[in-house]
Amino acid sequence: MFNIGDSIAYPMHGAGVVTEIEEKEVLGEICRYYHVSLPYSKMHVMVPVDNSDKVGVRAIICKEDIQGVLNVLGDESDKMSNNWNRRYRENTEKLRTGDIYEVAGVVRNLVRSDRIKKLSTGEKKLLGNAKQILESELVLAGGLSLDEADSLVESNI
């Protein structure tokens, strides 16, 4: 259970802050929802409290864990499939886990691939989404600005 003011990570959307916990009646049942403000994407989402574990909502990393994320960015690239469709699906699945280290690995691999051979439009969009997820958590965990988080990510790949 999260409280108002807690910073959380929401897979496929990034990190945000719980701004409200609300009860609503849906199909005759009373359900509780987290209202989450996602500052990086300028979105506001409602997450059912009862399903938050199932969808992978978790507390963000602490400041001390940032170095581990930077280490992943600096590690060797993973071997990726030559088939862009398979590569896209594998990377999307990694993002869906909500694991910050998996997300960092996707960003690292796609940035390096893009430097060698330009990514397809779909993979560029996936890279943008992965960077948004990663950088939004770094912003909240490290008290960084968006520009600082982006520079930190780019300089460690």
Q: What is the CATH class of 63-156?
A: mainly alpha
The pLDDT profile of the chain, 157 residues, written as one tens digit per residue, is 899 999 999 998 999 999 999 999 888 999 999 999 998 888 999 999 999 999 899 999 999 999 999 999 999 999 988 888 899 999 999 999 999 999 999 999 999 999 999 999 999 999 999 999 999 999 999 999 999 999 999 999 9
Domain ranges of the chain: 7-59, 63-156
* Cα distances (angstroms) measured from residue 52 to each of 1, 62, 92: 9, 20, 20
Give strand ranges (E) for the chain. 7-10, 14-26, 29-38, 43-48, 58-59
Look up the CATH number of domain 7-59: 2.40.10.170
Residue type, 8: I
Question: Structure pTM?
Answer: 0.90
Comparing CA positions, the residue from 98, 87, 153 lying closest to residue 123 is 87
